[in-house]
Each structure stands twice: as structure tokens, then as C-alpha cells.
Amino acid sequence: MADSVSSTISVTFPFIGAILAIVAFKRFTVWWKDSKPLPYPPGPKPLPIVENMFDFPKGDPTICYYNWGKKYNSDILHASSLGFHVVVLNSLEDAEELLEKRASNYSDRLMTPVLELMGVGSNMAMMHHGPTWRKHRRIAQQHFRLDMMSAHEPIQARRVHIMLKALLDDPDNLFNHHKVLSLSIPLEFMYGYDIKSLDDSYIVNAQKMIELSSKYFNPDSTLINFFPILGKIPAWVPGASAQGVVAAVREIIHDLVTEPMEMVKDAVNNGTAVPSVLSDFIEAKQGTPEFEDEAKIVSELAFTIYGAASDTIISALAALFYILVTRPDIQKKGQEEIDRVVGMERLPQFGDRALLPYTDALYRELLRFYPPTPMAVPHRVKEDDTYKGYFIPKGTIVSANVWAMTRDENLYPDPHVFKPERFINENGELTNDARVLTYGFGRRICIGKYSASATLWMTIVSVLACFNFSKAKDADGKDIEISDEFKFFAVITHKTPFKCAITPRSEVVRRLVEEVVAAEKLKPQGNVA
């Protein structure tokens, strides 16, 4: 035993020493290369070798970077760690200038060696800005541009109605019901796949992949990012925990990308396929020379859409229910508008949206106050740049602090107050401020923003039309207070679960929901192409 310990120490200490020496040398070369007449943007003072490694926030970074802006009197900030430069943008003006007007230089993504090994590069949202990304984007736009949204509406409406029925039957499981809604829409649209519960194998595997990989999205999460050769060390070697995670995530992603395509292909060939993006593609392209190459792109795109759409919708809906429970005044205003325009004898429809400005304002304010991605997915600079007298070196990670921008008093007076009325003018009409910052910037803006907007609005208007939300009661009949806590996980913010009381507004509502759901089960599903 002693010999084993001695042997381990004799190997470990020189190895650590070698790593520190290489890190020091790397930092020197980076410093030498990056020495420029112009300074970096303001930020915390770096330490020798490790620089700002201990300054970066470990949890939700938004408030930390917001406070940095106050401390250093700057909306553009800089920090670095072991060769990685990070620039944080706290103002919309700077984000628009760099990420949109200079998009040709600021549209790349950071793909660290560990994420590359995992296979995360197959996700369009994480791809480098180049030919492969453009092919994915072009196909995505065919299905998610504004004039194609009518193809989404039947699925969105049906899935919302199914959730309404679930709330009637089992109101205590609100969080399960809204997650099933959020996950089911992209799965049905892309694959024609009908999930019944969160125990579905696809959902379980996707969640496992997210949980395993989330900690490795930070560049300093593993030495593999600094010394890619370490990625070749077998997972069984002591201390090689990241290598085991890499192998597990890579296998899950491979299965999530390839298995649905094979499933839909079999259904198409058997004549049992449900209309979807994948089935329509297979029917149109199977047997052609370009099928294999395009099938890979469509499979990867379907996986991307599922991941991006489901998490953001889950986050936004949890925040919505929190607002409805804790702000009965907002709930009442929304219901009054719906009752006045829609009435009580039918459920809301997509065609009602233009006539319901308050519910649309509620949608906008929900994503302003509780942005699902409070830090936009980081961009990466392709070439050296200068801005406002600062030097931004090639390879810099640029993060837009959406949360800070939505708290800008110049853009949103009383920014820390949840107030849908800010988006309604004196004539009772919606203002022109329709931009939702959480969807991102420039060429990397969320491809599914129109679909997400429609899903969220239909859910908002439907639950307001059908239910009253209030605080749950304890055994003594007293209100159970709700924590205002939100947790930051990977790049998404989630409201912590809470109990509430959900009651149908009338027996007419119960009848309407049951009739609509029963009728929709009898309808053949429409084409999504």
C-alpha cells in the first residue's frame, strides 16, 4: 500500500509541476502576443498566471457583472483566465454595435476541446460561424420564418389544450404539466413524436445529457480545454473524471440525433408516419444523391430545436405562473380583456392576438423581467478589434448581459417593477418596442423566436381565460408563501417549484376544454412543411 501511495505521489507531483510550468509559459506567450498600445476594457485586476480565475462568478453571473459595471463605471468589461479573454456587454448600445453591426467578426461561437469531444458541435446554436452553420441555418429558416408560423399553430393550440385538460384533472402537478407542454411541441413538430409524460425515454436521456455536460460549458472547467491531449487519457485513469463524462455525453448525443431519424424513416417506409419536418424531408428526398448529407443536417437541426425551444419555454412558463399567483392584479387585467374580446363561450385562438394588447404586453414584460437566458449564449471574436478606445483580441468570448440591459432605466423606467403597461401607449395600443432581448443578437439570434412567441402567448391567454391562480393554503387555512428564488443552471434561469391553487373559472370552461380536446383527438394532423 505504501509503495502504491509513494508511486502515485512520484508521478503526480512532477505532472502537476509540468502543468504549472506549461500554464506559466502559455500565459507569457499570450501576454507577449496580446501586448498592444490600447488597453483592455475595465475589469478586476488580474493575478499573476491565473489572472481573473477567482473573480468569475460561479453561479448566476448577471448581477455580478452588473455590479462590476457600477464598480468600474463602464458598460463594457474585461476579465481573463489562463489565456481566455472575456468581454461582458451590459448595455444594448454596445451589443448592437458589436454583435449586430460588426456581425461578420462577432458571430462565431466558443467550442472548447471538451465540448468538441462530447459532440456538442452538432448543435447549431453552438456551431462555429461558417459553411456548416449556414447550411443548418438555411434549412431552419424554411420552417421557422415568420410566414411559416401558421404551420405550427395547430400543434401549439392542441398541446396547450391538452395542458388545460391536465390542469382540470390534476391541478397539483402544474410543473409537470407545463414541462410536458414545453417538450411536446418541438418533438411533435420536428419528429411527429407524441410524448405522454416526463418519463419518456427521449426526455430522460436529453435531461441526463444536460445534467452531465452543463458544468463543462465554462472554459476553465477542465484542463482538457488547455491541454487537449489530456482528452485521450482513458476514463479509468484516476482523476480522469471529465473523460468519463465526455464518453457518456457523446453516446447520448449520438443516440438523440440519429435514432429519431431512423424511427421516422421506418414509419415513412411503413406508411405510418405522422406529418413532421423529418417525415416530410424523408418523403421528398429519400433516394436522391443528396439525401445522406441533408439527412444529417436535418437530424442535427431537429435536436437543436428541441433543446433550445423546450428549456426556454419551461423557464418562461414557470415565471408566468409565479406572476399570476403573486400578482392577482395582473391576472385580473388579463382576464378582463379576454372576457371583453373573446367572451366566455369559446377558447382563445391565434386570430385574437391582435385584439388583446394587454396579454401581448404581458408576454413582452415576462421575457423582459424574467429572461430565460439572462446571459445570451456567448459570441466569439474572429479577428482583433478595437472599440471605444479598447482592444478586443482575436478569440475573445463576448457575453451580452441581457439581465443588465433589461434593467436599464433609460430603456425601461422603473426597471425593477413588473409592469406590462410599459408596452401599451396612451391609446391602449401596443408600443413599437417589440424586441425581446433574451432571443439574442445579430446572426446568432434565436431561429425559433416566432414559434416561441406564439407558444408563450397562446399559453398565457389560455390559462388566463380558463383558470384562477392563487396561493395554496396550509392545514390551518393560511396562505403558503412563495419564495422569489430563481436558480441559474447552465445558461438558463428557472423558477424554483412552488405550490399554488388552480381553479377553473366556471363550469363552462370545463365543458369547453373537454369538448375541444375530444374534438382534436378525432382530427387528422396537418402537414407541417
Please count the other Cβ atoms lying within 10 Å of the Cβ belonging to residue 182: 25
How many Å apart are CA 186 and CA 166, to the nearest integer?
19
Q: How far is CA 446 from CA 115, 138, 165, 187, 494, in A?
A: 21, 13, 30, 18, 19
Q: What is the DSSP string of 434-474?
A: ---GGG--GGGS-TTHHHHHHHHHHHHHHHHHHEEEEE-B-
Q: Could you tell me whether strands 84-89 and 390-392 are parallel, antiparallel, or unpaired per DSSP bridges?
A: unpaired
Binding site for heme, by residue number, is 446
Dihedral sign for Cα 235, 52, 388, 73, please: positive
For residues 250 and 119, is the Cβ–Cβ distance under 8 A? yes
Assign 207 to helix, strand or coil.
helix
Calculated CA dihedral for residues 29, 33, 36, 42, nearest 10 degrees = -60
How many Å apart are CA 361 and CA 422, to the nearest integer?
8
Q: Residues 265-285, buried b or exposed e (16+ Cβ, 10 A)? A: bebbeeeebbbbbbbbbbeee
φ/ψ (deg, to 5) at 503: -130, 140
For residues 415 and 115, is the Cβ–Cβ distance under 8 A? no
Using alpha carbons only, give the angle 109, 114, 119 rounded to the nearest 5 degrees: 75
Distance of CA 152 to the CA centre of its chain: 19
Cell of 37: 498600445
- Nearest in space to 370 (alpha carbons), one of 282, 485, 472: 485
How many Å apart are CA 91 and CA 98, to the nearest integer?
11
Rg (CA), the chain: 25
| 420, burial (CB in 10 Å: exposed 0-12, middle 13-18, buried 19+) | buried
How many Å apart are CA 35 and CA 467, to the nearest integer?
62
φ/ψ (deg, to 5) at 175: -65, -35
Please count the other Cβ atoms lying within 10 Å of the Cβ belonging to residue 202: 18
Cell of 102: 460588426
Residue holding cell 452588473? 66
Binding site, by residue number, is 446
How many Å apart are CA 265 and CA 271, to the nearest integer?
10
